[in-house]
Structures are given as structure tokens and as C-alpha cells.
Structure 1
Amino acid sequence: MKKEHIMLPADLADSEDFDVTDEAVERGLRSRLIRNTRMSLGLSQSEFASRFRVPVGTLRDWEQARVTAPDFAVAYVKVIAQHPEMVAKAVA
């Protein structure tokens, strides 16, 4: 079984701390990109979800890093960031 690479080991002095893996860091970076894009457009989660046809529960999971946003979703959000009106019109 493949062992995940630890990016940041747990603090041994903190019984509630845990190791942070490469995967967790990537999930967090994707989460930040999605949240920052939505916020830069001045939209709530429900407004963003409705405007760009993303289920609000899925958006919430991505933003809170409960689920890793797939590559296609990250690409979609990057396009939204560059051309929000064009994307909104295309999915309307």
C-alpha cells in the first residue's frame, strides 16, 4: 500500500493535531481558489451556484475542503474568474 507523503507533521505537543498530506494541501489550495473566485465576484454560495449551474451542496463541499474539487471544476472556475459574464450567458 502506498503511503501518503506528509507535508507537515503533527505537533507532538498537541494531542488534537494531525499530519497534513500532499493531498490535503492540494484540496485546500483548490478550495481557496474556488472561494476567492466566488468572493471576488461578490456572490453568495447560492448565487454563484445558481448563476454557474453548480449544485450548491457541491460548491459548499469544495469550498470547505470536505471534497477535493476535480480538475474539470478547477478549470471551470478559472474560466469563470476570467470571463464571468460570458460563462453565465453560455450556461443560461
Structure 2
Amino acid sequence: MKNEPITLAADRADAEDFDVSAEALERGRRARLIRKTRTDLGLSQPAFADRFRVPVGTLRDWEQARVSAPDFAIAYIKVIGLHPDMVAEAVA
């Protein structure tokens, strides 16, 4: 791992805690937005992926913060959150 600036230092009283870089914090924020959008719509990962034409493996990687969702994907998720039926119709 590169020497990234630490945004959130580990709690020294917690042996299992760890430092968090700015990149990891942003990746986690994006993951939370995606997961919240999906769950607010009441959809499982496979149902969301099918309805909005996102590969389910990609969606899982984004939600679990294994991979940071790119900017265009975050914009797409935000539009889905505002207009889910319109987006589903547009990609059908």
C-alpha cells in the first residue's frame, strides 16, 4: 500500500482498529451511498443489478468497498435514487 495520508487515526485502545486513508474513507462513503440507495428502494443486489443494468459482481464490489465506484457510477446512483422508475424505463 502506498503511503497515503491518514484521515482517521486508529484508536490506540482498540488492538483491532486501524488507520484509515482519505481514499479508503471516500470508498466507504461511496459504498454506503450505493447500499442505502438500493435498500431504500427495497431491492436485493440481484434485483437492483437487473433493473438498472449494473453487473451484480460490480455492484457487490462497490457496496463492500472492495472497489471504489467511479464518478459516473455515483452520478447514476444518485439519479436512480431520485427517479428510479424513469431510469428503469430508460434502460429497459
Report the TM-score, using the length of structure 1 for normalisation: 0.91
Partner of 1:77: 77
1:27-48: CA deviation from partner (whole Å, max 9, x where unpaired): 0000000000000100000000
Partner of 1:48: 48
Letter in 2 for 1:59: L
Report the TM-score, using the length of structure 2 for normalisation: 0.91
**Matched residue SS, 1:7:** strand
RMSD of aligned alpha carbons = 1.3
Distance 2:13 2:85 in 1: 50
Letter in 2 for 1:58: T
- 1:1-92 equivalences under 5 Å are 3-92=3-92
Unaligned runs of 5+ in 2: none
Structure 1 runs (4+) greater than 4 angstroms displaced: none
Deviation at 1:14, TM superposition (A): 4.1
Unaligned runs of 5+ in 1: none
Deviation at 1:13, TM superposition (A): 4.5
